[in-house]
Homo-oligomer: A and B are copies of this chain.
């Protein structure tokens, strides 16, 4: 880290900073500028607190040099991680193939889910999404079918070969969900639920980690670091939109995160245009944009009868619309040397 001293900082202040740097097990390097003195702390300070330095007398600010995550960074692993999703259709995130995960927001009943599973497979999906445990803003809203929903998802996989991606909301659900699902999804609201991150890090199924709606990229990668550091390297990052002042969309979808993640991390990143916009009429164009800028996958809310969907009807597209969209997506993928 770099410690910038205030203009009027005394020699005593500087000595104090140097002493504190040494207490942290780091070495100091003092640079006397024309207007400021700057003290560089040398050594791995990832686990050190820059705050204790920041509040010392005479210190103006402390600037970190090293990113706080390590195992999620590209520096420790140059080649891109490919995470197989499961199922029998070869679904994977991070390779040349852009993976397509589609399905309803929540599992509503057996018939409808099986029907939509076949339809999204037909349209080109290799994985099925669908919530059995639903995090809902209101306590009065439909909360999901629970284990019954998981059973239905597993049956859909058996029938179609699609990998099953579904959300796990709590530590005590991890074992149950891992029993049925191929990929465990950690939702945006739980991105900093550290106990849950540790729990999914302790099991062996891949994890689809959604970005919190106001999480920085650094916090996002640190959440992945929690999972990886427990021994599970199979993390798929998922951008699902951030909260801004904008009102024409439910969330703002910041696609520049795709090339940035590819630059600083080895993990695959996929895009959720459904949550990322909140409106079905914006979904197809955002799918195209995501593929064009290099996303490793798409996760799309797809419902046969959106106007009767129990959850998220307004942002779901039909399997038929998905099928039509795929024609353009294939051309765009080819243009950027990918396949879908």
Contact = CB atoms under 8 A, between A and B. Distances in A.
Interface of A: 2, 4, 7, 20, 29, 31, 33-36, 38, 40, 42-44, 46-47, 49, 51-52, 54-56, 63, 65-66, 68-69, 75, 135-141, 169-172, 189-190, 192-196, 213-214, 216-219, 222, 225-226, 229, 242-249, 252-260, 263, 276-277, 280-282, 285-286, 288-294, 306-316, 328, 331-332, 334-336
Nearest to A188: B192
A180 B97 CA distance: 49
Contact of A192 (B137, B170, B243, B280): B137
A302 to B, nearest CB: 13
Contacts of A34: 42-44
Nearest to A40: B31
A242 B249 contact: no
A230 to B, nearest CB: 8
Contacts of A193: 169-170, 189-190, 193
14 contacts: A33-B65, A49-B313, A51-B312, A51-B314, A55-B280, A137-B222, A138-B225, A171-B171, A172-B172, A218-B247, A252-B254, A255-B289, A259-B285, A263-B281
Query: What is the oligomeric copy number?
Result: 4
Q: In the complex, which of the residues A138, A141, A253 has the most CB atoms of chain B within 10 Å of its own CB atom?
A: A138
A328 B338 CA distance: 12
Given A51-B313, A190-B193, A244-B245, 19 more contacts: A34-B42, A47-B140, A49-B313, A51-B311, A52-B308, A55-B313, A55-B314, A55-B316, A139-B225, A170-B193, A171-B171, A171-B172, A249-B256, A252-B256, A255-B289, A288-B336, A291-B292, A331-B334, A332-B332
A52 B189 contact: no
